[in-house]
Amino acid sequence: MTKSKHTPGPWEVEYKVNVKSSKGDFVASCGCNGRDIDVSISNARLIAAAPEMLELLEDLIDMEGPQPGCVSWAEKAKAVIKKAKGVDHDTI
């Protein structure tokens, strides 16, 4: 399986609403823009966890593969991986 070319994780939330890489590179900002600060913090935490979630999902697909009763799960997982990687074809 080809690994993503996104900024390598782990990522962490900085200043409550900014996400940076472990090397200090800026990844994303979840400013309030009229929203509750708790929503911005939750969004930043979700973004910060994204690289680890993608890696885990890729590992699970590699380990488990399609199994009886799990085909729909595997197809959903592959679709999410493709979405995260911006891939339109069947190779993930």
pLDDT digits (tens, 9 = 90+) for 19-28: 888 888 888 8
The domain ranges of the chain are 11-85
pLDDT digits (tens, 9 = 90+) for 52-89: 999 998 888 876 555 666 667 778 888 888 988 888 76
Residue with tokens 């996400």: 19
Q: Answer yes or no: is pLDDT of 15 > 70.
A: no
pLDDT score, position 35: 62
pLDDT score, position 34: 59
Q: Tell me which residue of 58, 57, 51 sits closest to 6, measured CA to CA.
A: 51
pLDDT score, position 67: 61
pLDDT score, position 1: 54
